Amino acid sequence: MIRFLHCSNSFNQEKYDSAIASIKVARKKINANSSPLEKSILLYCIDTLFEIINECNTQKIFDFADAIHNIPEIYMQKRNLYSFRKELKSFQRKYGKRYFAFIDEVKPHFTKKAPKNKWEFFSPESDEEFKKLHPIGYKILVAAGIIALMLPQIIYLVYITVINPAPNEWTIMLGYVGSFIVGIGLFNIVAAWIHQYLGHLLTILCLLGGTALTLLSMYLLYT
C-alpha cells in the first residue's frame, strides 16, 4: 500500500495512516516472535522505511517500498535472500551502499524444515545470484561442499584399506554407502551459507543414519 500510494497521483491519507498503523503492529509482533535472522532483516526494512518516509522524498519512498515489498517471501519459504540481489543492488546504486548492507554478508540460514521452493535448489541457475554477489565466497563454499561430501568416504576407505585392512566382503559397500550418506548431511550444512539448506530433519537423518550404517558395516567386517 505504501508503494502504491507513492506511485499514484491520488494520495489517500486515510489509507496511508492505516498502512502505517498496520506496519507498526506487525513490527511489534516480529520483534517479539521472529527468529534472529528473520527479525534482523524485517525490522531493518521497516525501520529504514520509516526513516525514508521522514525524508519526504516521494521517489525514494516508492523505490524503497518497491525493493522490499516481496522480502517476506523469504520467510514464507518461496524465495531466498539472494534472489533479491537485483532489487536491492539497484537501490544501493541509486541511494548509496549504506542501504541493505546485509546482502553483502555471507551468513548461514538454517530452517527446521525444507523450504517450499526446495526443488529450485537443484536447478543449475539456483546459485547464480549468490555467485554474482560473492564470486570468491562461492568458490570457497563449493570447495567446502565437495570436501564435506567426500571426506567421510575418504576416511572410511583409508581406515579399511590402510589403517586396519578389512576382508574383501560385501559389507564394505554397506559402509561406503553409509559414509556417503553422512557426507550428504555435512553438505547440507555447507549449503546453508548459500541459503539452500534442506532442513534439520535431513541433516539429522543423514548424520545419524549414515553413521549407524557405517558402524554396522565395520562391526560385520571385524567380528
pLDDT, position 43: 94
Q: What angle do CA 28, 31, 32 make, to 5 degrees?
A: 85
d(CA 129, CA 126): 7
pLDDT, position 178: 95
pLDDT, position 94: 93
pLDDT, position 31: 92
pLDDT, position 203: 96
Q: What is the pTM of this model?
A: 0.77
Q: What angle do CA 183, 197, 129 make, to 5 degrees?
A: 115
Q: Which stretches in the chain have pLDDT values below 70?
A: none
Q: What is the pLDDT of residues 117-155, one digit of tens each?
A: 788 888 877 888 888 888 998 999 999 999 999 999 999
pLDDT, position 116: 80
pLDDT, position 141: 93
d(CA 112, CA 116): 12
Residue 190: closest CA among 144, 129, 136: 144
